Amino acid sequence: MQRENPNAFALMEKLKEIHLKNQALFPRESRLYLEIPRYGKENLEYLQGTSVSKETNKFKEWFTGLKESVLGAADDAELAGFNFDASKLMYTDVFGEDIHKVPITGMYALETSQVSLNIIDGIKRYTKSGLKQRKLIELNPFAQALQNVTAETIPKGDKGSARAAATIGKFFRGKQKTTRGKSIRNIIQREFQGVHTNSWIGRSSLPYVGKVSNLAPFIQKSLNRAGAIGSFGIFAANVLPSAVKNRFGALVQNLIESSGGRFLTLRSYHQGKFRALKMIMAHTTSLYETGPKSLDGQLMLLFDPGQGIFENFVKQQFGRSLAGDAAGLSFFTSPRQFLDLEVQTELLSGMLHHQRVTQTINGVPTELKYIDAWEIRNGQIELKEGIDKEWAQGGKKFNEFKNRSHELNNRLVGTYAKIDQPEVMRYALGRALFFLKRFFMSMFMNRLATTRTSNALGTVSTGYYTSTLFAVVKLLRTRSIGAITSEEKINAKKFVADAALQMFMSFLLVNLFKWYGAEDPDKYDRMKERSGALNEDDFDLTGWLFNHTLVATMATLLETETFGVLNPVEYNAKKGEWNFSYGRRTVKQLTNTGKSMADPLGLWNTSYQKMVDAYSNFALYLEDKPNAYWKKDTGPYWFQKADQPKFWKDIFSIFGITGTQVSPVEAAEKEAYKQRR
């Protein structure tokens, strides 16, 4: 190689140098030395001719990968719902008692045919994991002491723990002690031991159920596969109206939070919109580039608004390609992911514009927006000179701000990052029940929680519905505006903004879109008159966009009303006037929300049920049964027309091709059906 390809040889020597240098910082038991990190292959690698073992034929490689994707693999800890298992690593006999449970990646005992040859990104991932393991081992004694102190019971004979509990136990009394102790134990298990699930369905091995435990990986992977199929079928090829509605819903939540004026204001939020667009575009356009990124691109990595940007950057910077994304089918959901990240970046940018820092040059202080406190030096993002270094990366104030932005994002759009998952997600049943509902817990607490501390926000907070109710009661009792605290005033502003936005969207639907809800039998005919579907002869671009805007507004209003209808009036189409609803719509909406959350078959209906329906309808088609065909048109595509076999619609729905994208009338009917349930 040195003679025939000196550049490749020089690169290999440099990689060896970096690989060995990094491992010098790791525990001895976690070093690979000259072996490459062992991570599983991406989809594209199965299609290419790469393999560690050249003797392995491609068919055997595919078969092994397929088998492990169903029955379990050594690197299952990389997937959601699986726990870290040290016995699945290459070197298990040298692990000491003190560290054998602390997770590390890149050392899985994979078959050589299943090892990814994306070596550069593999070294980055392994290095990050090794450094994290080293820090966790360093912190482990403190974590175990904290777990013992906050435990519900003190182990017999553990006098040290008993003394510690007697000293510190006054902070963990009664029920609070039990709840806090359980939460701390779960966090320690997750971060220090890699225990992400607490249910036998999700474990890779079970000491108490014998051979039945072999079913655990199959069951958990079936759940994961069902989630992937269900979400792909709902979101893929569905920019209009699903992704746009999702973006508008998050936008409404940002406006509500901005109205409170604590962590950002309406002014700073709108000031940050243009910069947010620059940041997201800088990030998106450099996905397939290597080398130093621009200032805006590095701001995205530094503050990580989606809590996954930096993780993906470490995981796949050099090995990411258009072909790889195409093989992984990620292009189908990219528009939705882009819009999700864009609105999250708007929130971050608004906070960065709101936060002020002081820069002192030659003794003269100048106040800067935090967004303007950064610059590029030697290709890397750095804090400008003259600013307190605690605002720099890793500093106390920087960490507080970053945690605050992440927590605020969780409260507004839901908890999707691994580290922020609620306790119920530790159970396979919980993950199934909360499929596509991960927004619920944090958004519910943001509105209806009682007063509690928030370390991430650095405040004592109350749900803004709850706080406003208490403030009204207090105001009626004391008849003094001075009795209202600043926290209650902030929450009251958010409550009013929530109600005002709901009223605004309702007025838009009635006055601009002439949409009167269930009382209007002609609404779909009016939509059809404006424009047919994208693939139909009566298509009109202006009318089509108008109809899709109507659907997006209706869907956004429905989403905003999930936790209660704050709009006190409703439109009576028969009388042509607005009337007070006296809470009638609130009760109806809360009933619908309760039914949706209590639906145990949501995951099944959106995933495997489609396959069952496709099989059943195909069997009817082979038998030439009359009910194997549509009796009337059910959508804009050929396979949704009368006299067409039903199984085609079931198959296409798996890929998200349902008709709502090209036909806003179809989308409106589905949204209206949600309201009637």
Note whether residue 49 is domain-resident: yes
Q: Residue 676 — pLDDT band, cuts 50, 70, 90? A: low
Note whether residue 16 is domain-resident: yes
Note whether residue 341 is domain-resident: yes
Q: Residue 49 — pLDDT band, cuts 50, 70, 90? A: low
Note whether residue 232 is domain-resident: no
Q: Are both 181 and 77 inside the same structural domain?
A: yes
Q: Are both 24 and 128 inside the same structural domain?
A: yes
Per-residue pLDDT reduced to its tens digit, 435-450: 888 899 999 999 999 9
Q: Are both 189 and 322 inside the same structural domain?
A: no
Q: Residue 135 — pLDDT band, cuts 50, 70, 90? A: very high
pLDDT of residue 397: 97
Note whether residue 291 is domain-resident: yes
Per-residue pLDDT reduced to its tens digit, 475-524: 999 998 889 999 999 999 999 999 999 999 999 999 999 998 878 889 99
Per-residue pLDDT reduced to its tens digit, 515-573: 988 788 899 999 999 999 999 999 999 999 999 999 999 999 999 999 999 999 999 88
Q: What percent of the chain has pLDDT over 90?
A: 52
Q: How far is CA 440 from CA 71, 392, 443, 539, 580, in A?
A: 32, 34, 5, 38, 28
Q: Are both 54 and 141 inside the same structural domain?
A: yes
Does the reported pTM lie above 0.85? Answer: yes
Q: Are both 170 and 281 inside the same structural domain?
A: no
Q: Are both 11 and 144 inside the same structural domain?
A: yes
Q: Are both 363 and 275 inside the same structural domain?
A: yes
Number of helices (H), then strands (E), in the chain: 25, 8
pLDDT of residue 92: 54
Q: Are both 281 and 397 inside the same structural domain?
A: yes
Q: What percent of the chain has pLDDT over 70?
A: 90
Q: On the CB side of 461, how many CA atoms lie within 13 Å of its CA?
A: 23
Exposure b/e, 4-22, CB count within 10 A at least 16 = b: eeeeeeeeeeeeeeebeeb
Note whether residue 585 is domain-resident: no
Q: Are both 178 and 268 inside the same structural domain?
A: no
> Which residue type sits at 403?
N
Average of per-residue pLDDT across 113-140: 92
> Which residue type sits at 496?
V
176: pLDDT strictly greater than 50:
no
Per-residue pLDDT reduced to its tens digit, 329-373: 888 888 888 999 999 999 999 999 999 999 999 999 999 999 999
Q: Are both 160 and 279 inside the same structural domain?
A: no
Look at the chain and count its residues. 677
SS3 content of the chain, % helix, strand, coil (to 5): 60, 5, 35
158: pLDDT strictly greater than 50:
no
Average of per-residue pLDDT across 156-181: 49
pLDDT of residue 32: 93
56: pLDDT strictly greater than 70:
no
pLDDT of residue 130: 94
Q: How far apart are CA 303 and CA 272, in angstroms?
A: 15
Token pair recorded at residue 57: 């034929």
Q: How far apart are CA 589 and CA 587, in angstroms?
A: 6
pLDDT of residue 273: 96
pLDDT of residue 646: 96
Bridge partners, residue 375, by sequence: 382
Q: Residue 637 — pLDDT band, cuts 50, 70, 90? A: very high
Q: Residue 675 — pLDDT band, cuts 50, 70, 90? A: low
Task: Mark which of 177, 196, 215 sits at the end of a domain.
Answer: 196
Domain coverage including residue 86:
6-196
633: pLDDT strictly greater than 60:
yes
Q: Residue 219 — pLDDT band, cuts 50, 70, 90? A: confident
Q: How far is CA 143 from CA 186, 192, 382, in A?
A: 11, 8, 32
Name the range with the highest mean pLDDT among 16-20, 42-46, 211-215, 227-231: 16-20
Yes or no: say if 112 and 53 are a contact pair by the CB < 8 Å rule. yes
Q: Are both 179 and 278 inside the same structural domain?
A: no
Name the range with the highest mean pLDDT among 173-177, 399-403, 458-462: 399-403
Question: Angle at CA 629, nearest 5°, toward 625 and 632?
Answer: 140
pLDDT, mean over the chain: 86
Q: Residue 1 — pLDDT band, cuts 50, 70, 90? A: confident
Average of per-residue pLDDT across 611-625: 95
Task: Mark which of 394, 409, 424 sits at the end of a domain.
Answer: 409
How many folded domains does the chain comprise?
2
Note whether residue 186 is domain-resident: yes
Average of per-residue pLDDT across 209-220: 60
316: pLDDT strictly greater than 50:
yes
Task: Mark which of 392, 409, 426 sits at the end of a domain.
Answer: 409
pLDDT of residue 170: 43
Note whether residue 118 is domain-resident: yes
